[in-house]
């Protein structure tokens, strides 16, 4: 089956752009394109994709890939698809890292490889290169709570040479996807993915410079969930009757793992800013600022342990 033939089938059940992306994905499969078996497999793939489109399945779920912050990530039925709104969190972290304003001052790859080693955060027993971090006291260390595909931590660490991080998720299936994405972007020596829950992770105290999280923030039974989100895992979407249970867990447990002056960056749902701020301030955090996404919706909130250390 040719790409054009696949497109004609898919166009009947979805938008032209979606059909074009999927048909190119099908046409890009490896194999002897002149063989009968290849033609049959392509036909079956096109029909299966057409059925998925008819059911409202997002294109990313069909092709198993999604671009985010200029990088391609594997995604699937066990992970939340990376969304453009979440790039606001990546930008917020990079803007808060002083050296990002002058990329030339950051360590090069060769400097990272040749500058020695230190223990990786926690008890992971891994060795990574030692370079100068935000305060000149070592590399920045980042913890990602609910890493999913790993798109947030990969995007951030790829843009801060010398940074290292840990991504945790309670879904072992999501962890497998995240590890493959870490490998895809050649970050295996800088990012470790672990199966852990928000309230049970056990790293050394005062380990991380930044904590980031895009936690579940939809209330159980919320009718505003769009059709695309219905194909995402419930574990990554829903957070109790009010959609705030994940924030409560993070506010209670995360601060002991941040260094003095460390910051936490949280993605939030539309209209939940005041409630999230109350939760964190009542738990002893201090509000720094919030940032809006491209649509003008408050999307990221930043808290710090001690404002006097700024």
Render 148-209 in DSSP notation, one character per residue.
Answer: TTSHHHHHHHHTSTT-EEEEEES-HHHHHHHHHHHHHTT-TTTEEEEE--TTT--PPTT-EE
Instruction: Assess if residue 40 is contained within a domain.
Output: yes
Position 268 scores a pLDDT of 93
Position 127 scores a pLDDT of 32
90 and 7 within one domain: no
pLDDT, greater one: 71 or 33: 71
245 and 217 within one domain: yes
221 and 74 within one domain: yes
294 and 275 within one domain: yes
72 and 51 within one domain: no
10 and 154 within one domain: no
Q: pTM of the predicted model, to two decimals?
A: 0.79
46 and 76 within one domain: no
- In the chain, what percentage of residues exceed pLDDT 70? 75
Tens digits of residue pLDDT in 1-25: 677 777 777 777 778 888 888 888 8
Instruction: Assess if residue 251 is contained within a domain.
Output: yes
Comparing 70-74, 119-123, 127-131, 160-164, the range with the smallest average pLDDT is 127-131
What is the spatial distance between Cα 199 and Cα 300, in angstroms, rounded to a whole number?
A: 21
Instruction: Assess if residue 282 is contained within a domain.
Output: yes
Task: Give the structural domain span for 7.
Answer: 3-55
Task: Sort residue 263 into left (φ over 0), alpha (ψ -120 to 50) or beta.
Answer: beta
Instruction: Assess if residue 61 is contained within a domain.
Output: no
Span 163-168, mean pLDDT?
Answer: 94
What is the spatial distance between Cα 195 and Cα 145, in angstroms, rounded to a whole number?
A: 10
**Alpha carbon 173 to chain centroid distance?**
15
Residue where one domain finishes, among candidates 55, 74, 96? 55
Tens digits of residue pLDDT in 136-149: 455 789 999 999 99
165 and 49 within one domain: no
Q: What is the mean pLDDT of the chain?
A: 79
295, pLDDT greater than 50: yes
β-partners of residue 264 are 211, 303
Position 229 scores a pLDDT of 66
| Tokens representing residue 272 in the block | 């939940």
286 and 137 within one domain: yes
Instruction: Assess if residue 166 is contained within a domain.
Output: yes
Comparing 171-180, 229-238, 276-285, the range with the smallest average pLDDT is 229-238
Instruction: Assess if residue 243 is contained within a domain.
Output: yes
207, pLDDT greater than 90: no
Domain of 128: which CATH number?
3.40.50.150
Instruction: Assess if residue 223 is contained within a domain.
Output: yes
Position 176 scores a pLDDT of 97
Tens digits of residue pLDDT in 184-196: 999 999 999 999 8
Cα 45 to Cα 25, 34, 39, 71: the distances in Å are 10, 16, 10, 25
Span 116-123, mean pLDDT?
Answer: 38
- Give the pLDDT band (50/70/90) at residue 41: confident
Q: Which of 309, 254, 243, 259 is nearest to 284 (CA)?
A: 254
Residue where one domain finishes, among candidates 55, 78, 96? 55
Span 59-77, mean pLDDT?
Answer: 92
What is the spatial distance between Cα 109 and Cα 304, in angstroms, rounded to a whole number?
A: 30
Instruction: Assess if residue 60 is contained within a domain.
Output: no
| Residue 160 neighbours by CB distance under 10 Å | 24
Domain count for the chain = 2
35 and 111 within one domain: no
- Give the pLDDT band (50/70/90) at residue 101: very low
Position 2 scores a pLDDT of 72
99 and 150 within one domain: yes
Angle at 54 between CA 215 and CA 58, to 5 degrees: 25
Position 91 scores a pLDDT of 95
Place of tokens 């909130």: 301
226 and 111 within one domain: yes
């Amino acid at each position: 089956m040719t790409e054009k033939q696949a497109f004609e089938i898919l166009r009947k059940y979805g938008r032209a752009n979606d059909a074009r992306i999927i048909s190119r994905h099908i046409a890009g499969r490896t194999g002897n394109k002149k063989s009968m078996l290849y033609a049959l497999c392509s036909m079956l793939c096109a029909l299966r994709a057409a059925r998925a489109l008819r059911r409202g399945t997002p294109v990313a779920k069909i092709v198993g890939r999604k671009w985010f912050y200029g990088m391609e990530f594997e995604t699937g039925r066990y992970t939340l698809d990376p969304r453009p709104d979440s790039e606001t969190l990546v930008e917020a972290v990079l803007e808060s890292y002083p050296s990002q304003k002058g990329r030339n001052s950051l360590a090069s790859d060769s400097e990272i490889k040749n500058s020695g080693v230190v223990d990786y955060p926690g008890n992971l027993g891994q060795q990574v290169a030692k370079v100068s971090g935000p305060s000149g006291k070592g590399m920045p260390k980042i913890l990602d709570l609910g890493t999913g595909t790993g798109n947030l931590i990969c995007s951030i660490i790829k843009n801060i040479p010398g940074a290292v991080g840990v991504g945790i998720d309670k879904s072992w299936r999501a962890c497998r996807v995240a590890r493959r994405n870490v490998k895809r972007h050649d970050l295996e020596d800088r990012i470790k993915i672990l199966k852990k829950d928000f309230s049970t992770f056990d790293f050394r105290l005062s380990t991380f410079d930044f904590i980031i999280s895009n936690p579940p923030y939809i209330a159980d039974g919320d009718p505003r969930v769009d059709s695309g989100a219905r194909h995402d895992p419930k574990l990554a979407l829903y957070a109790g009757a009010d959609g705030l249970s994940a924030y409560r867990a993070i506010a209670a447990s995360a601060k002991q793992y941040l260094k003095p002056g460390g910051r936490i960056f949280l993605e939030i749902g539309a209209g939940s800013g005041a409630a999230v701020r109350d939760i964190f301030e009542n738990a002893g955090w201090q509000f720094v600022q919030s940032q809006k996404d491209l649509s003008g919706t408050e999307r990221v909130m930043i808290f710090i342990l001690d404002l006097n250390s700024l």
